[in-house]
Amino acid sequence: MLIIHPDETQPDREDLPTGEWTIAESTRTVNKLMTHVVEVHDPRGKWVGDISPDRAALLLDKFTVATRDPTLCGRLKPGTFQQELGLLLLRYQSGRKISGSKRVKMRNHWTTPPPLIPEGLLRTYDIKQERFASPLNFNPAIPDYWSAFPEDTLFGAHHDAYSSRMTACGYMNPDYEEDELEKALQWAVWASETDEPVCFLAVYPEWIKATYMNLLSHHNVNVVARFQRSTFAFLPPDYWASSFFILFF
């Protein structure tokens, strides 16, 4: 019998079927440099994706804490860490449905350049929340983060950046789609209309014709810094493991 699988394959990275989700440390050569990765394979031995060892260790800590919650476990019925890590990588593949007509677009799933938050924003502002993040790119120095999928709560996330009002001081990193940028900024402006102190930071492209630019004139919105064109870069979340392009503004 000949069975043809329609899924994309990586022949040099496939394993023999084990019947279980597995992870294993490995190395890859990227741009002539050897990079350590954690490979994830499904029960058929199919390679699902890679994740950095540091991120894998961080997610294991988050998973261990989350699965001590009987209410969460009763709701999500999690499998092993290996399985949930694999399902996480599958969730964040471009084209995967989030809700309604919204789908994952990994080209918009940016990791802010490392020096900007740790060396800049976190030293200047008392940031306690990160909205529009994911288990793959949240900043571990920020106590709480919000992501798109309810299953991400297995890795310490709060589900849905719009599920609660923004409070205190935080950072937000919505998808770089005009409607998403406008909706997020509107939500932040609404959250600021209170007697309680609220301060949320975001890095936005200066798209002159975008309707969200009109919100910059709101009395609660302040532009605290501008970057010259081609001096500010965004990195994709897997920049550490692949030949990547950088989005400059």
The pLDDT assigned to 246 comes to: 33
Name the residue ranges covered by the structural domains of the chain: 11-91, 106-248
Q: What is the mean pLDDT of each run of 10 residues along the chain (249 residues)?
A: 41 77 90 89 95 95 98 98 97 82 66 66 93 92 95 98 96 89 96 94 88 94 84 56 37
The pLDDT assigned to 207 comes to: 87
The pLDDT assigned to 29 comes to: 82
The pLDDT assigned to 240 comes to: 43
Contact 127, 171 (CB under 8 A): yes
DSSP 79-108: --HHHHHHHHHHHTSTT-EEETTEE--GGG
Give the integer Cα–Cα distance in Å for 69 and 71.
6
The pLDDT assigned to 94 comes to: 79
The pLDDT assigned to 83 comes to: 98
Encoded tokens for 138: 């949240």
- Rounded to two decimals, the pTM is 0.85
**Opening angle at CA 145, ends 142 and 146, nearest 5:** 165
